[in-house]
Amino acid sequence: MSAEELKGYLAVATDIAKKVGPAFKDGFWRRGQFASMSDFGAEDKQGNEADCVTAVDRYIEMTVFAHLRSIYPQHKFVGEETTAECGDDYLVTDDPTWIVDPVDGTNNFVHHFPFTGISIGLAINKVPVVGVIYLPILDELYTAAHGQGAFLNGQPLPLFGPPMLTSPTSLSQCALVTEHGSHRSEAVMGSRMRSLTRLMLAKEHGGACVQNLRVTGGACPDLCLVAKGVADLYWECGPHAWDFAAGAVIVTESGGAVFDGAGWWGADIAQSERTLKPLNVWNRKVAAVRYIPDLPGQPGSGQELQKQLVRELLEAVEDIPYPPDGVQ
């Protein structure tokens, strides 16, 4: 895939995100075509009271895919609403595949909390290579393509560089973003709460003592915070490919790194085999870390610190088994 081809894909995704932005804002503020609450139609998704879908989700996904199909009729398409309503039995291939979340953070959207937006990612050979996240209410447009850097409203990411960005050497110096997820069974929530407790617990009590924990309500804004450099780490088990495909590109192109997020706490894995695995966007487990500058006189130390922090994170959290997205 040439750099020019990637630029073309990125330009198309960016243009489409901007085009559906006004409809997103209308839905958020319940005006225009979404002024009537009966037309808005917030519904439980597949009977899950902790998750919902609106007319805006469906309208934006339909509009985005219609534009993309008119330009790239041979490409594959995976969207949150079409996939959620038709089941997860789609085939994951090496073909160019557009992965779209029309309203990431729908619960935020419904409750007028501005951390919500549109995510458009493109995977080739099953790996995300283009990412666009538009947070219309915050007027933040994040764009990235493999090998070409990441940007917020045209400004290179991360927003801050040395000395404003430090080189944290432990989780106790880090701000962590995560989500509680929409699966509320006792087993899943118990696992999540145990992991978060270990992450926040003081070191003298066996915890990692992360400096602070943030929950914004959406994977897209979480990953944008990491790419900006205002959050150090993101971890979650259970999101879908459309939740973080675009964000993974934006984080890596900002100088950050993304890895498989399957936790190691309590796992029957020998210490010698506890190595970081590359992110598989279809496996629903992700750990991301922001850009970290090198320590003075130590080239490459920033990347080593990134890996060290993710290792500490995975040592503290439990894996939660989830079926992968699609048929691989």
Q: How far apart are CA 42 and CA 56, in angstroms?
A: 9
81 is in an annotated binding site: no
What's the chain's Rg over C-alpha atoms? 19
CB-based burial label for 30 (10 Å; 0-12, 13-18, 19+) = middle
pLDDT digits (tens, 9 = 90+) for 209-258: 999 999 999 999 999 999 999 999 999 999 999 999 999 999 999 999 99
39 is in an annotated binding site: no
104 is in an annotated binding site: yes
Q: pLDDT above 90 covers what percent of the chain?
A: 75
Give start-end residues of each CATH 3.40.190.80 domain in the chain.
Answer: 171-316
At 49 the pLDDT is 45
CATH of domain 171-316: 3.40.190.80
In this structure, whether the domain defined by 3-156 belongs to CATH 3.40.50.300 is answered with no
44 is in an annotated binding site: no
pLDDT digits (tens, 9 = 90+) for 1-37: 799 999 999 999 999 999 999 999 999 998 888 887 6
CB crowding 89-118: b at 16 or more within 10 Å, else e: ebebeeebbbbbbbbbbbbbbbeebbbbbb
At 87 the pLDDT is 55
Q: In the predicted model, what is the mean pLDDT of residues 266-294?
A: 94
Look at 137-141, 164-168, 212-216, 223-227 and tell me which has the smallest mean pLDDT. 164-168
Give start-end residues of each CATH 3.30.540.10 domain in the chain.
Answer: 3-156
At 163 the pLDDT is 74
pLDDT digits (tens, 9 = 90+) for 31-64: 888 887 655 555 444 544 445 567 888 889 999 9
Query: Does this model's pTM top 0.85?
Result: yes
